[in-house]
Amino acid sequence: MANTFVKIASVTVGSGGASSIDFTSIPGTYTDILVKLSGRCTTGTIRNLYMNLNSDTGSNYPFRFLYGNGSSAGSSNSTSEGFSDVAWVGYLGGSTITASTFGNVEIYIPNYAGATYKSISSDSVYENNATAAYASMHAAIWNSTSAITSLTLKANSGNLAEFSTATLYGIKSS
């Protein structure tokens, strides 16, 4: 059981926002990695958070997820959505949600440096002082045997807003 968290790197988006956050040169010395993101987006109401690994934008990330939004619940997957060139790892609120509130996303990737396909699990929730706000749980796999050395986080539309913060942790087995 993994039990030791080490902060590898952290970044906060500056004024003007950013289209993506890339963690590069991730060391392969841990057992698992974990990303914690506090964020919101600069446009729209509901935004999807996507992730690519090692800059791979091929259709190699089949995913599925469950969500609730305050009035309904549902599920979907990469086949229904019609794409798998990114791992859909969460929801974030956009510019129209309650000001100065940020959503949380947590992404866990065990055995990220191994030679098997990489499983990805994540959950997300965002704040909104209104009826609709999303909470979700996601599962995906990256169909690659390469060790993960970089990861990219981006919204499906618009930028990650100023003060959005992503932190990458390495986890070592005891």
Q: What are the residues binding other proteins (CB under 8 A)?
A: 8-11, 13-14, 16-27, 42-43, 46-48, 50, 57, 81-83, 85-86, 152, 154, 156-159, 168
Min dist CB 41 to other proteins, Å, is: 10
Class of residue 115 by CB neighbours under 10 A (exposed 0-12, middle 13-18, buried 19+): exposed
For residue 144, give every residue at least 6 positions away whose Cβ sits within 8 Å of its Cβ, in sequence order, or none: 53, 54, 56, 60, 117, 118
Q: How many CB atoms lie within 10 A of CB 67?
A: 18
Minimum distance of other proteins from residue 80's CB (angstroms): 10
Which residues touch 100 (CB under 8 Å, ≥6 apart)?
Answer: none
Which residue, 44 or 114, is less far from other proteins as judged by CB? 44
Q: Closer CB to other proteins, residue 1 or residue 25?
A: 25
Comparing CB distances to other proteins, the nearer of 25 and 174 is 25
Write down the least CB distance from residue 152 to other proteins, Å.
8
Can you read off the two tokens belonging to residue 168? 């990458």
